[in-house]
Amino acid sequence: MAEDQLCELQDEFTCSVCLDTLTDPVTIPCGHNFCLKCLTDCWEKSQESSCPQCRENFTTRPALRRNNLLNEVIQKLKKTTLSSPSSQNYAGPGDVECDFCTGKKFRAVKSCLPCMASYCQTHLQLHYEGDARKHHKLTDPDRNLKEKLCEKDQKSLEIFCKTDDSCICMMCGVTEHNGHKMVELETEREEKQKQLGATLSDIKRKLEEREKTLKETRRAMEEIKMSVAREVEENEKSFTALIQCIEEAHRKLTERIRDQEKREMEKAEGVMERLDKEIEELKRREAELKELSETKDHLHFLQSCVKSSLIVKVDNL
């Protein structure tokens, strides 16, 4: 409770121009307080003297004097409870900035559709000061406020036309969409939300089915790979055994052919050896017969023929 009161006091002593604790506070005739430097800078940039907060114009520029009493109160509060706005309230990347902050902008806490503007906490309080704006519809900070306006009438899109399936403003509802079936945005949102929920459920179911099918397909692929690997391994073993069998048969057949060759060669060598001896004997007899046939002595010729039996049939040799 005490913290809330301190926060309220802090807002009371905050300059609406720089959004920081008042420094050298000055009070102008309309009753609002500002930093001396902030107000001086505002008036130097403008052709007229007006309150930056309530916009009241002053015919004669008021003389600016530091409000010593207010300054003393601020200094005492600074020593105890009052501190400047935390840097965490400044707009960062992705935040919606306040449209009314000058210099470094604070983070917007609300957006006003009728005003087409976004407000930080301090300027939001100023927004509520006007009676005409107290009933304005506020939303969460939105950087795309222009998209929420009717392009034709520049009014807030507050109604949904079910006939044309589009968001429209109140003016369009009276003119172009007169007689159409129309509902509030919240009502259509609830219906569309139900449809969305049904669609999401259907997508979830289909997603589960696809994931299940994908899982089963992957398992089947793994089984196919394993089956093929086993078959390839078995074929490798079969072909290896077949190759070994063929090589063994080839080796044995080669051995038999070599053995037969050896036997035939040995047989042929025996025949050749016998033929060589017979040829040698025939050549010897041929020489003896030639020598005997050339002798002049008839007696010697006949005696030699009888003695040595030189004249015989060749077939008997």
The tens digit of pLDDT for each residue in 226-268 reads 999 999 999 999 999 999 999 999 999 999 999 999 999 999 9
Domain membership flag for residue 134: no
Domain membership flag for residue 90: no
H/E element holding 27? strand 25-27
The more confident residue out of 132 and 167 is 167
List the domain range (segments joined by +) for residue 57. Answer: 1-85
The more confident residue out of 184 and 4 is 184
The more confident residue out of 72 and 312 is 72
Average pLDDT, the chain: 82
Confidence band, pLDDT 50/70/90 cuts, at residue 16: confident
Confidence band, pLDDT 50/70/90 cuts, at residue 198: very high
Q: Give the chain's domain count.
A: 2
DSSP string, 107-176: BPSEEETTTTEEE-HHHHHHHTTSGGGTTPPEES--S-GGGGB-TTT--B--EEETTTTEEE-HHHHHTT
Global pTM reads 0.38
Question: In this structure, are residues 167 and 183 in contact, taking their beta carbons and an 8 Å threshold?
Answer: no
Among 67, 85, 103, the domain boundary falls at 85
Q: Please check the confidence at residue 6 and state whether its pLDDT lies above 70.
A: no
Domain membership flag for residue 248: yes
Domain membership flag for residue 123: no
- Give the pLDDT score at 285: 87
The more confident residue out of 148 and 288 is 288
Among 85, 112, 137, the domain boundary falls at 85
Q: How far apart are CA 49 and CA 37, in angstroms?
A: 15
Confidence band, pLDDT 50/70/90 cuts, at residue 2: very low
- At 42-66, the pLDDT tens digits run 888 877 788 888 888 888 888 888 8
Among 56, 85, 114, the domain boundary falls at 85
Q: How would you class 133 by CB atoms within 10 Å of its CB: exposed for 0-12, middle for 13-18, buried for 19 or more?
A: middle
Domain membership flag for residue 229: yes
- At 212-223, the pLDDT tens digits run 999 999 999 999
Domain membership flag for residue 103: no
Domain membership flag for residue 149: no
Domain membership flag for residue 215: yes
- Give the pLDDT score at 7: 46
The more confident residue out of 316 and 277 is 277
Alpha carbon of 304 to those of 288, 308, 309: distances in Å? 10, 6, 8
Q: Please check the confidence at residue 10 and state whether its pLDDT lies above 80.
A: no
- At 108-153, the pLDDT tens digits run 888 887 777 888 887 877 766 665 666 677 778 877 777 777 878 7
- Give the pLDDT score at 311: 55
At 71, which CATH number?
A: 3.30.40.10
The more confident residue out of 284 and 154 is 284
